Amino acid sequence: MKPEAIPLRDTVEFLRELALNNQKVWMDANRERYRASVVEPLRRLHDRLAPSARKLNRRFVTSGRTGDNFSRINRDIRFARDKTPYRAQMYLFFAEPGADGGQLYVGVSAEVVTCGFRIYGAGKPSRLVQIGRARGRDHAKWIARQKRRLAPKFESYWYSSEKGEWTKRNGWPTEPEQWKKLQAWIVRRKFRPTGASLNGLDREAAKVFAQVYPLYQFTSSPKWKP
């Protein structure tokens, strides 16, 4: 039996309108639409991807809860310059308990669907700080091999800390010196959000997860070996 199609057009349209009407009044008036167009489609995508994610790492959390597998639509604006209350994009991700290591993720916005690996390490004792930075400095050749393997289809960028400010750097952090200041690393593949459904994205995302999983192990796993 063919799997049920997961609608994407409504998800993209909702996020596009949210970006233009980023106010609590608008969200309150569209709360049911948000659940039907964003929450439920991503939950179905999660359920399809969870078995593939668990095959890669049996410790991956697959509870389907916000914070465990889904980003929050609400923004913390207490210390933000941008005071808009909501995020105009949503993320589905798989990670080990604690959320202090890397993630395999799918992101949906009004402009693009992305899928890949990401890790952040600022402001907490994350695995990037405890494990990944030292490995990045010591295994430049391994990273260069991953670049040759993935660069034809994947975009890579990373963030360094310069005078207390995050600075985006396009490309691959292949130099040992780059890892001393590395705060985050994202390797992703882009998909156009123009189709009528996410049917098929589950298969493509599972392939992407398998391709980028070595990056997760490199930056997050104490048992990684070159």
Please tell me the distance from the alpha carbon of residue 103 to that of residue 157, in angstroms, as a whole number: 15
Angle between helices 140-150 and 201-220 (to 10 degrees): 170
Q: Residue 87: its pLDDT value, please?
A: 93
What confidence tens digit (pLDDT) does each residue in 26-66 have? 999 999 999 999 999 999 999 999 999 999 999 999 999 99
Q: For residue range 10-27, what is the model confidence (pLDDT) as tens digits?
A: 888 999 999 999 999 999
Domain-by-domain residue ranges, the chain? 9-220
Q: Helical H runs in 105-186?
A: 127, 133-138, 140-150, 176-180
| pLDDT band at residue 110 using 50, 70 and 90 as cut-offs | confident
Q: Return the structure tokens found at 12.
A: 């993209």
Higher pLDDT, 3 or 212: 212
More confident residue, 25 or 123: 25
Structure tokens at 172: 């691959």
pLDDT of residue 36: 94
Rounded Cα distance between 226 and 214, Å, is 10
Average pLDDT over residues 59-88: 89
With vertex at residue 57, the alpha carbon angle to CA 56 and CA 61, rounded to the nearest 5 degrees, is 125
Report which residue type is found at 75. R
What is the mean predicted confidence (pLDDT) over 80-109? 90
Q: Is 123 exposed, middle or buried (0-12, 13-18, 19+ CB in 10 A)?
A: exposed
pLDDT band at 196 (very low <50, low <70, confident <90, very high): very low
pLDDT score recorded for residue 144: 96
Place of tokens 């997760």: 216
Average pLDDT over residues 110-133: 86
Per-residue pLDDT band for 140 (boundaries 50, 70, 90) equals: very high
Quick count: other Cβ atoms within 10 Å of Cβ 105? 23
The residue among 14, 39, 37 whose CA lies nearest residue 26 is 14
Mean pLDDT in residue range 141-167? 92
Tell me the two tokens of residue 30: 């569209």
Dist CA 50 CA 79 (whole Å): 34
Q: Given a cut of 70, is residue 148 above it in pLDDT? A: yes
**CA torsion angle for 139, 140, 144, 146 (degrees, to 10)?**
30
pLDDT band at 209 (very low <50, low <70, confident <90, very high): very high
In terms of residues, how long is the chain?
A: 226
Which CATH fold would you assign to the domain 9-220? BirA Bifunctional Protein; domain 2 (3.30.930)
Positive/negative CA dihedral, 197, 200, 202, 206: negative
